[in-house]
Chain A
Amino acid sequence: MKVANDAAVGLKDFYSGLGISLSTMLVSPKFLFRQEIAETDPDHAGQYRMDAYSKASQLSFFLWDSAPDPELLAAAEKGDLNTDDGLKKQVDRMVASPPS
């Protein structure tokens, strides 16, 4: 909020402030690169696994050549991608319906 708010106050324009904030996000490595984040694996003590959002990105860029859609992100948020059933369901959906 800091960039957006400071710029909005300085420029006396809410939308210009938002634009500056958006452009900083668009050059952020977090946007330009695909970061893979690990978390501890509850099924295997002492080991790590890829977190659900990283998994969603991997699936999406592999199967769709595109960023995850809202449904896939929602599945990641709910933890579905960490279960075999949830993962299968998403992969089936993605294979059956490429993004428009």
Chain B
Amino acid sequence: MPAWLITVTAPDGFGKDGPVTVTWDRATGRITRDASGAVAQQDMTYQVDPDPRSHNELKGSVKNGVVTVEPADFRMVLDPYLQPEIKFQQTHMRLTMNADGTARGVIAGYQPWSTVYYGFADQGAHQGICRVDQFAGALLRAEAGSRFRSRSEDRGKPADLQRLYDRGGSRLRRAGRRQQDRAGGRSDRSESPVTMKHLKKTLATAAVRADCRLWRRRIAGGRRQAGGWRRGHTASQPAAISSDRLRHLRPDDQGRRAGSSRDIRRDGLLAMGASQVSVTASGLEEYDKIARNVAAQVVGEANRDTLIPCKPANTKAADDACATQFLSETGRMLYRRPLTKDELASV
């Protein structure tokens, strides 16, 4: 997940108590950590994500070096695979400014359940870290005591959640009973196993019920798109990913798990020549993993006879002629033009 950028502005200075403005933004890149991976590096530069959804300006005050804010709305786009966004109401924040330039604090607020639920329902179930039916039940119980129940934004949602739980839950329970009947085991409703087939149906119900278009698309599209490899490619995506010509060079399962990061688009368009159109460091790391995986497959014993047009005189030594033939032919397809002499000499 990208870094979050916090800016505290005190017009009267931090030396005395007074009003402050706190802005929260999302960066385009991940937080930079030291070699241990535990400590965020100081004095790093980040680029602010221009997406206005993740820009927050909170009014507050500083007192004895502690910044607090007036309750307000707070929104931050997160990872659609885990939890789509943070959308707090009545946000509270406390940030203690330390003499060494660091700050430590906490931010909290009330959030509609839907975004939390979808993250768990999708990823949690796939990873086996939560039971969707039990989680829906837990949300229901929390919802019953929620102070937001009568707010217009959430009006009607408890009933929807109840329906969703009833439908999904009964389906899961039925599935569980069927399985246990077949196995000759005792029927136990609370322990009904969740199968992928029924889970998908439940998730589809959830998506339609909440009219959440993004999630409905993902669920309807199935898991084939996991990692975003084949579909949805756009003008700004690297040619490599959208190239059907190179179908046989797609990574195997291991490589696919490395994933591919989403490329940066601005206003839905590719900005020609702009610094925005680039591969992030983490993105390149992923490309590198995929590239190694694909290359290993190409030269692997299973594929080399079909994908490499020649055989070396000695497999334990360099072979100029065969390497030249393979790299110039493959390079021409990969770069979409013949390699120059220098390029061919250097690869």
Q: A residues engaging B (CB < 8 A)? A: 1-6, 8-9, 12-28, 30-34, 37, 53-54, 56-57, 60-61, 64-70, 73, 76-77, 99
A65 contacts B244, C-beta separation under 8 Å? yes
A23 contacts B295, C-beta separation under 8 Å? yes
B38 → A minimal CB distance (Å): 29
Bound CA span A64–B244, Å: 9
A67 → B minimal CB distance (Å): 4
A2 contacts B347, C-beta separation under 8 Å? yes
Q: B residues engaging A (CB < 8 A)? A: 233, 235, 238-240, 242-246, 249, 277, 279, 284, 287-288, 290-292, 294-296, 298-300, 304, 308, 312, 314-320, 322-324, 326-327, 330-338, 343-347
B234 → A minimal CB distance (Å): 9
Chain B residues whose CB sits within 8 angstroms of the CB of A4 once the complex forms = 318, 323, 327, 347
B322 contacts A14, C-beta separation under 8 Å? yes
A9 contacts B240, C-beta separation under 8 Å? no
A3 contacts B346, C-beta separation under 8 Å? yes
Bound CA span A65–B347, Å: 27
Chain B residues whose CB sits within 8 angstroms of the CB of A53 once the complex forms = 336-338
A14 contacts B317, C-beta separation under 8 Å? yes
* Secondary structure of the A contact surface, majority rule: helix
Bound CA span A30–B318, Å: 25
Across the two chains, which residue of chain A brings its CB closest to B234? A65
Chain B residues whose CB sits within 8 angstroms of the CB of A73 once the complex forms = 332-333, 336-337
B334 contacts A34, C-beta separation under 8 Å? no
Bound CA span A23–B235, Å: 24
Bound CA span A33–B291, Å: 15
A66 contacts B244, C-beta separation under 8 Å? yes
B334 contacts A1, C-beta separation under 8 Å? no
* Known interface pairs A14-B316, A14-B318, A15-B315; A67-B298 also in contact (CB < 8 Å): no
B238 contacts A12, C-beta separation under 8 Å? no
Chain B residues whose CB sits within 8 angstroms of the CB of A77 once the complex forms = 338
Chain A residues whose CB sits within 8 angstroms of the CB of B244 once the complex forms = 64-67, 99
B308 contacts A57, C-beta separation under 8 Å? no
Q: Which of B249, B277, B296, B319 contacts A14 (CB 8 A)?
A: B319
